[in-house]
Amino acid sequence: MVSKTFIPLTIASIKMFFRDRQALFWSLFFPIVIMGIFGLIDFSRFTIDLGIVVAEENKLEFAGIVEGLKQNAAFNVTEGNYADEEAELIDDKRDLILVLNKNDEGVIEAEALINASTQTQSSAIAKEIKDMLESNILNQANVQLPFRFKEQIIDVNDLTPLNFILPGVLGIALMNNSMFGVAGGIVRNRERNALKSLFATPLKKSDFLLSQVITRLVVSMMQVVILFALPISVNRVSGLIQGIPPEEAVFYFKVVGSWFDLFAVAVFGAVVFINFGFMVSALSKTYNQAVSLVNIVATPMMFLSGAFFPKEVLPKFLQSIAGYFPLTFLVDGMREVMNKGAGFVEIEIQLAGLLIWALLIFVLATRLFKWES
Amino acid sequence: MKMKSIISVINLKKDYGTLKAVKGVSFDVYKDEVFGILGPNGAGKTTTLEMMEGLRKIDSGKVMIDGIDAQKCPDKIKNITGVQLQATAVFDYLTLAELLDLYASFYGRKIDSLELLDKVDLEDKKGFFVDSLSGGQKQRFSIAIALVNDPKVIFLDEPSTGLDPQARRNLWDLVKELRLSDKKTVVLTTHYMDEAEYLCDRVAVMDHGDVVALDTPDNLINELLKKGFKKKVEVKPANLEDVFIDLTGHSLRE
């Protein structure tokens, strides 16, 4: 069925990919930008805007506490009077306001105003401040608690923000390129009769399909290599310039599992989405329809599959639906390999999920596909 | 003079559901002639042509080109024919030279793409994409595509539709040249009668899926005159197109 003719056609379609700016943007530029942004966000510097209100006559009394809070890097502290600080909070410029007062009976009264928009975080902080105040008082009273509490954060596998976002961005890039590349390539050329003119020559349809699949796989492999090689080389260069080890560089990430497994999962994901591309081209008459259909399929996956942010923040019912998305299987699979060192056996659920999607969509697409519009 | 036939179309039929698009069409195309299939839109011209090209399944009947059965050996037919389609139908993002090389590769051939571009007067556009060409240039390029395998027969589907008079005449010159200097047999469809009269050695007139007349343009006109036909207005020895060409010249605007 297949002959050597597909080779020049494959080379030509790879050329076409690199000349199509829109395809280049979504397949390479966009994922690189997202990765760059996430790499540059310093997650350790997320601060709480804390307003402190202390009456003039009590300033001395609470000076120690205020100073302590100011020195804590987690807080960005401002001091002011009650009305001003409250106005700032309403204006969303404070997350939390702490009002410290001493009443006539000498009892310390602390009041926390919590911004609803950052409630979860700010409430926890307020509670911590309460604990801090209590232990301060206890200390002053020289009372010993019957236990001591020690806190230690253990950084498993030395992971970085890029360890989270890189598999996510890679999954999205593979999805966009494979689905959009195949669907766009077929539908646009069917619409402009280019497929008809191809088949007026002795070119076989199977050769054409093979050239499409190979083109998308080649581009997918380039995506994997570029998205991993780029941050590594930026780290090397910036490390050399600043004289720091790569572990401290901005785009540092760690691959705990095997590079080969990671690569294999990525390519398998690309194959699944190539099938989706054929499905889209089977369902769309025009290029614009294909673009909308790709967006309808890709956009919910992009935001719900946990590629950009953890699925756990979604409502339970959405989480359970999103758990079956092919992008979820792909991203989870890559994360397990990259961040936990999983092998194929440990990610058999993800691999099985991807395989089922691939078979299902392949069967549907071959039934619905038409060469002519 | 006895003409040698290169294409035989025998009782060709095609239905689309209940619509009988082609209802038993038969004709022969002679070697080295320009053969026109005329008819209004929906007469079955393109369907007939596509069945001859091996692009569309034949419901019943037979097409033989140079002794090869189009239904049984579509690939062999494709090797000895060149097809120019109605719209400019090639990939975007490939240059003209790259496209010609690519199409040649489908036939397992290596060609001098510059020479071919020169033939259709596009050698200075070799590095351009098709979408940046004018209408006439696109049409000439699609003829170049149809020539990559040095075919015996070239099919042109409505080659001058949408072209301005200068580009049209330029295209006609190219078709004449294919017939005279390259000794190609050309089969074309058109709904412009002046084009058929100027280019075609013989024409088949189709309507509602049937061939209603087949002869040289001269004979067909004489037949009509014999029946006592007279034009209502006396024809002037020039028409508005002659005026247009006189005013704006023959040179191409692209």
* Nearest residue on chain A to B91, alpha-carbon basis: A194
Contact (CB<8Å) B85/A197: yes
- Residue B26 — φ and ψ, nearest 5°? -135, 135
Read off the tokens for B154.
Answer: 């070239």
Alpha-carbon distance B16 to nearest alpha carbon in chain A (angstroms): 14
Between β-strands B202-207 and B210-215, what pairing exists: parallel, antiparallel or unpaired? antiparallel
The predicted structure's pLDDT at residue A1: 46
Among the partner-chain residues A16, A196, A201, the one whose CB lies closest to the CB of B103 is A201
List all residues 6 or more positions away from B116 whose beta carbon is below 8 Å from its beta carbon: B100, B144, B147, B148
CB contacts < 8 A (A, B)? 65
In 3D space, the residue among A275, A316, A270 whose CA is nearest the CA of residue A174 turns out to be: A270
Which residue in the block uniquely carries the two structure tokens 């076989």? A204
Q: pLDDT at position A42, please?
A: 62
Residue (of B204, B232, B240, B218) closest to B7 by Cα position: B204
Condensed to tens digits (0 to 9), the pLDDT of residues B171-188 reads: 999 999 998 888 899 999
Confidence of residue A272 (pLDDT cuts 50, 70, 90): very high
A134: tokens are 């209590």
Q: Which of A16, A193, A198 sits opposite B87 (nearest CB)?
A: A193
**Which residue among A19, A196, A197 sits closest to B93, beta carbon to beta carbon?**
A19
Residue A111 has φ and ψ, to the nearest 5°, of -125, 135
Name the residue among B55, B91, B102 with its Cβ closest to that of A196. B55
The predicted model gives B10-23 an average pLDDT of 91
Tell me the pTM. Answer: 0.78
Give the C-alpha separation, A78 to A66, whole Å: 10
Question: In this predicted structure, what is the pLDDT of residue B254?
Answer: 67
Given B79, B90, B149, which is nearest A197 (Cβ)? B90
For chain A, say whether B110 makes contact (Cβ under 8 Å).
Answer: no
Kindly list the residues from chain B whose CB atom is less than 8 angstroms away from the CB atom of residue A198: 106
Measured between alpha carbons, how far is residue B254 from residues A304, A321, B172 in Å? 51, 57, 17
**pLDDT interval class at A192 (50, 70, 90):** confident
Q: Are B200 and B36 in contact (CB under 8 A)?
A: yes
- pLDDT tens digit string along B51-67? 999 888 899 999 999 99
Instruction: Reply yes or no on whether the pLDDT at A41 is more than 50.
Output: yes
CA distance A5 to chain B (A): 6
Q: Residue B90: helix, strand or coil by DSSP?
A: coil
pLDDT digits (tens, 9 = 90+) for B76-88: 999 999 998 766 6
Which residues from chain B sit within 8 angstroms of residue A202, using beta carbons? 75, 78-79, 106-107
Interface contact B102, partner A, CB < 8 A: yes
8 Å CB contact of A188 and B92: yes
Chain mean pLDDT for chain A? 85
pLDDT at B242: 85
Which residues of B fall within a CB distance of 8 Å from A199? 55
Cβ distance A196 to B101 less than 8 Å, yes or no, reads no
Collapsed DSSP state (helix, strand, coil) of residue B20? strand
Measured CA to CA, the distance from residue B130 to residue B152 in angstroms comes to: 26
Over range A23-48, report the average pLDDT. 77
pLDDT per residue as tens digits for the range B42-55: 889 989 999 999 88
Alpha-carbon span A161 to A173, nearest angstrom: 18
The HSE-up count of residue A229 (CA atoms within 13 Å, CB side) is 8
Q: Does B127 touch chain A (CB under 8 A)?
A: no
Q: Please state, rounded to an integer, the average pLDDT across all residues of chain B.
A: 89
Contact residues on chain A for B54, CB-CB shorter than 8 A: 200
Q: What tokens does B243 get?
A: 């005026």
Lookup: tokens for B40: 């209004």
Give every CB contact of residue B45 below 8 A, 6+ residues apart in sequence.
B37, B38, B39, B189, B206
Which residues of A have a CB under 8 Å from any CB of B?
5, 8-9, 12, 15-16, 19-20, 188-189, 192-194, 196-203
Q: How many percent of chain B have pLDDT more than 70?
A: 97
Burial of A320 (C-beta count, 10 Å sphere; 0-12/13-18/19+): exposed
Report chain B residues whose CB lies below 8 A from the CB of A8.
Answer: 101-102, 105
B102, B94 Cβ separation under 8 angstroms: yes
CATH no., domain A44-154? 3.40.190
pLDDT at A174 over 50: yes
A44 beta partners: none
pLDDT at B86: 65
Q: How far is A203 from chain B (nearest CA, A)?
A: 5
Q: What is the pLDDT of residue A153?
A: 52
DSSP character for B7?
Answer: E
* Contact call for residues A81 and A99 (beta carbons, < 8 A): no
Q: Where are the domains of chain A?
A: 44-154, 162-368
Mean pLDDT of A283-297: 93
Do the Cβ atoms of B78 and B54 come closer than 8 Å? Answer: yes
Predicted local confidence at residue A240, as pLDDT: 86
Per-residue pLDDT at A157: 59
DSSP A92: T
**CB–CB of A341/A255 below 8 Å?**
no
Average of pLDDT values for A306-324? 88
Q: Indicate the pLDDT class of residue B215, thresholds 50, 70 and 90.
A: very high
Q: For position A106, what pLDDT does the model report?
A: 74
Q: Find which of A10, A196, A201 to mutate to test the B interface (most B CBs within 10 Å of its CB).
A: A201
Identify the residue with better confidence: A88 or A350. A350
